[in-house]
Structure 1
Amino acid sequence: MKHIIFILATISLALAVSSCGVKQSGVTVDSHSVLPGTEVVRKGKSMTLLGNRIETGQRIPATELIDAATMDRVNLEDYAGNVLFLSIVPSIDTKVCEEQTHLLGERGDMLPADVKRITVSRDTPFAQTRFAVDANLTDIQYLSDYKEGSFGLSTGLLVDDLRLLARAVIVIDKDGIVRYIQVVPDIGHLPDMERAFSTARELDAEK
Structure 2
Amino acid sequence: MTQERTGVATFKGNPITLIGPELKAGDKAPDFILNKDLLEETSLKDFAGKIKLISVVPSLDTRVCDAQTRRFNEEAAGLGDQVAVLTISVDLPFAQARWCGAAGIDRVITLSDYKYHSFGEAYGVFIKELHLDMRSIFVIDADDNLAYVEYLGEMADHPDYEKALEAVKKLI
TM over 0.5: yes
**Kept after mapping to 2: 8 A contact 1:71/1:125:** no
Partner of 2:35: 66
Which deviations, in whole Å up to 9, do the C-alpha atoms of 1:103-138 show, x marking residues without a partner?
A: 010133222332100000111101110011000002
**What is the aligned length?**
168
1:186 is displaced (CA, Å) by 0.9
Structure 1: give runs of 5+ residues left out of the alignment. 1-35
Aligned residue for 1:110, secondary structure, equals coil
Runs of 4+ in 1 over 6 A off after TM superposition: none
Structure 1 residue 163 displacement after superposition:
0.9
Match of 1:144 in 2: 112
Check if 1:47 corresponds to 2:45.
no
Give the distance between the partners of 1:85 and 1:103, measured in 2 at CA: 12
The aligned amino acid for 2:86 is I
| Aligned mate of 2:157, from 179, 182, 189 | 189
Note the alpha carbon deviations across 1:171-193, whole angstroms, 9 max, x for none: 00000011100011111110011
1:144 CA displacement = 0.6
Report whether the alignment pairs 1:176 with 2:144: yes
Q: Who wins on radius of gyration, i.e. which is larger? A: 1
* 3-state secondary structure, aligned to 1:201: helix
Q: Is the 8 A contact 1:82 1:173 kept in 2?
A: yes
| Residue ranges of structure 2 left out of the alignment (5+ in a row) | none
Alignment pair present for 1:75 and 2:69: no
In the TM superposition, 1:99-138 aligns within 5 A as 99-138=67-106
The secondary structure found in structure 2 opposite 1:129 is helix
- Which whole-Å CA distance do the structure 2 matches of 1:85 and 1:71 have between them? 24
Residue 83 of structure 1: how far off its partner (Å): 0.2
Q: Report the Cα distance in structure 1 between the residues aligned to 2:81 and 2:119, rounded to whole angstroms.
A: 25
Tell me if the contact between 1:112 and 1:201 (Cα under 8 Å) persists in the aligned partners.
no
Shift of 1:148: 2.2
Q: Kindly provide the amino acid, as one letter, of the partner of residue 174 in structure 1.
A: A
**Cα distance in 1 between the residues matched to 2:28 and 2:46:** 13
SS in structure 1 at match of 2:31: coil
SS in 1 for 2:58: coil
Identity of aligned residues (%): 34
Alpha-carbon distance, 1:62 to partner: 1.5
Deviations for 1:79-116, whole angstroms, at most 9, x for unmatched residues?
12110000000000001100000101013322233210
Give the TM-score, by structure 2 length. Answer: 0.92
1:150 is displaced (CA, Å) by 1.3
